[in-house]
Amino acid sequence: MSLHTRFTRGWTLQELIAPREIQFYDAKWNSIGLKKDLVDDLSTITGIGAEILMHEQSLDLVSVAARMSWAAKRETTRTEDMAYCLLGIFDVNLPLLYGEAEKAFQRLQEEIIRSKADLSIFAWQCIKPPRVDRWTLTGVLARSPQEFSNGHTVGRMYRRETHDFSITNVGIKTRLRNLWAPDYGYVMQLNSYSGLTGKYLALRLRKIGPEMYLREGPYDLLEYATGAFSERRPVERYLLTTIPVIPRFSERLDPSARFQHAGKLLRFMRRSPVRVKLPSTFKLMKIWPADRWDEEDRLFFVSGDSRWDTFQLDLEYELSHKAKQADGTLIGKTTTLEFTLYALGWSHIQLDSIDRASFGLVSRLEYATSIDKISRWILEDEPTTATISKWLGAARIPRHQWIRYDIPQTDHSLVIKIESTLHNVVTLTAEEIPSIDVLERITEDWPIFRDY
C-alpha cells in the first residue's frame, strides 16, 4: 500500500495508530523509516498528536470531536465503512449492516453517546450553503466525519458532573443543564473549549415542543466566557436526531430534507399554541407547566387534548410612586405587585382567535394562600382543566379580565388587564388612570371560574 493511501483511506487510520512499531516503505519497497523516526511528520500530515501515535497518551484523553477529525479527510469505498473503520478509535462495537449507508454513522454516534461522557460529539459544523441564515434547524447528530473537520481544535473539559444519556424513539434523552441568553435563546454547553481561543463551546438549540429541541444554526459553534449565559435547572429533555415528520404538511415540507428554516418549520409544528405578550415592566416569577413553556418565543404548547391545556403564570409588577412623609415631603417609593394569570382549556376552539373567557387574572394580595395551595395540588396530581376549575371555584377565587391597585396617597389606580386574545396571543397591559374613571374604562368581568 502506498504512503499516500495510508493517509487518505479510512481503514488505514486504525492501522496507523494501533501498532507501536511500523516500518514505512515507498512504492518501490525502499525503506523510508520507522514510525518512531517519522512521528513528527506523521503527526503534521494526519493531525494526530505524536503522543497518541507513540502510545504515550490514552485515546480516552482526546475529545471525541478531535478523534472524528482524524477521519474527516479520509475516504472509504462503501459509505458504511466510514463509520465501521472508527470502531476501534472509540472502543465501541456495532453490528456491520451493509446497505444502511449514512445510518451507520448515526448508529456509531449513538453508541459513542451511550458509552462516553463526552459532549464534544455534538461539536460538529456544516459548510454553510449560500443564502442560508442562522435560523436553520436540524438534528443534533452529524452526517459524516467530514463535519468534524475543525474538531482538532476542540479540547475536552473534565468535570465531576456526569451526563446520563439514553437513546429513545423520540430522541436523545438527557438531563443536561440548559443555559439561556436573550440574544441566543436556549444554549447547550459542551463541556469543551476551543484550543484556538480558550473559550468554552456550546450549541444553540430551539424548543419545538414540550422539552424537545433541535439544533439551530449548524454552521458554527458558540464560544463564550464564564458568566455569559444564565443557567436553568436540569430537566429531562430530548435532543432530536432528525426533524420530525409532519404528515399534514408533507406536501409543504420536504420530509427528506435535513435542514428546515425555523420560521417555516415551527409554524407547522406548533398547533394552536398561546403566546403571552407582556410589557417589559412585568417579571415572570413562576411558570407551570414548565415543560410546555417556550421562553424564547414566550408561548405555551398545547398537549393535543384540551382537557389538559391549562397554564399558570405568576407575575410581578414594580410600581413606582411618590409617598408623603410625616413632614409633608414626597419621596420615591417602589411597591411590588404580585398577580397570577390562569388559562383553562384554551385550545378547545380551533380558531384564529382563542376563547377570551378561558383566561383570568387574580391578585395575590388577597388570594395568595389559596393560589399557593392549589399550585401545590397541581404539582402533585397533574389534574385536568376541569379539576383545576373546580378547585378555583371551591376556593372562591374570582376570574377577572382585569385587576386594580389603588396607588397610595394618589387619586390614581394601576389597572392590569387582558387587552386582547387575537391570533392566539394573550396581551397584558398596565395603565395608570384616574381612580374615578376605572369602572367606566373597564367593563369586562367574569366573577367566577366555570367548568370545561
Q: If pLDDT is split at 50, 70 and 90, which confidence band does 97 have?
A: very high
- When pLDDT is averaged across residues 183-208 and rounded to a whole number, the result is 91
Q: Tell me the CA distances in angstroms from 427 to 112, 182, 322, 346, one per residue in order.
A: 46, 20, 28, 14
- When pLDDT is averaged across residues 223-250 and rounded to a whole number, the result is 82
pLDDT at 442: 62
pLDDT at 1: 46
Please check the confidence at residue 452 and state whether its pLDDT lies above 70. Answer: no
Q: If pLDDT is split at 50, 70 and 90, which confidence band does 246 have?
A: confident
pLDDT at 435: 81
Please check the confidence at residue 384 and state whether its pLDDT lies above 60. Answer: yes
| Cell 390614581 belongs to residue | 412
Least confident window among 65-69, 71-75, 181-185: 181-185
pLDDT tens readout for residues 402-434: 888 888 777 888 889 888 777 788 899 998 888
Q: Name residue 212's beta-bridge partners.
A: 209, 238
CB 274 within 8 A of CB 350: no
pLDDT at 201: 94
pTM for the model: 0.86
pLDDT at 366: 86
Question: Between residues 452 and 131, which one has the greater pLDDT?
Answer: 131
Phi-psi region of 99 (alpha: psi -120 to 50; beta: other; left: phi over 0): left
pLDDT at 324: 67
pLDDT at 140: 95
Give percent of the chain above pLDDT 90: 39
Please check the confidence at residue 138 and state whether its pLDDT lies above 90. Answer: yes
Query: CA-to-CA distance for 345 and 355, rounded, in angstroms?
Result: 9
DSSP string computed for 373-405: HHHHHHHHH---HHHHHHHHHHTT--BBSEEEE
Query: CA-to-CA distance for 168 and 9, rounded, in angstroms?
Result: 33
Please check the confidence at residue 3 and state whether its pLDDT lies above 70. Answer: no
Domain edges within the chain? 58-260, 270-441
Least confident window among 108-112, 130-134, 224-228: 130-134
Q: Which of 442, 369, 356, 450 is nearest to 404 (CA)?
A: 442
Joined grid coordinates for residue 420: 386582547
Please check the confidence at residue 342 and state whether its pLDDT lies above 80. Answer: yes
Please check the confidence at residue 238 and state whether its pLDDT lies above 90. Answer: yes
DSSP string computed for 96-148: --TT-TTHHHHHHHHHHHHH---GGGG---PPPPTT--TTEEE-SS-SSGGGG
What's the first-to-final CA gap in the chain, in angstroms?
A: 76
Backbone phi, then psi, for 213, in 5-degree steps? -130, 145
Q: Cis before residue 434, ω within 30 degrees of 0?
A: no
Query: CA-to-CA distance for 386 and 393, rounded, in angstroms?
Result: 11
pLDDT at 161: 56
Q: If pLDDT is split at 50, 70 and 90, which confidence band does 348 have?
A: low
pLDDT tens readout for residues 260-272: 888 888 877 777 7
Please check the confidence at residue 233 and state whether its pLDDT lies above 50. Answer: yes
Backbone phi, then psi, for 296, in 5-degree steps? -65, -45
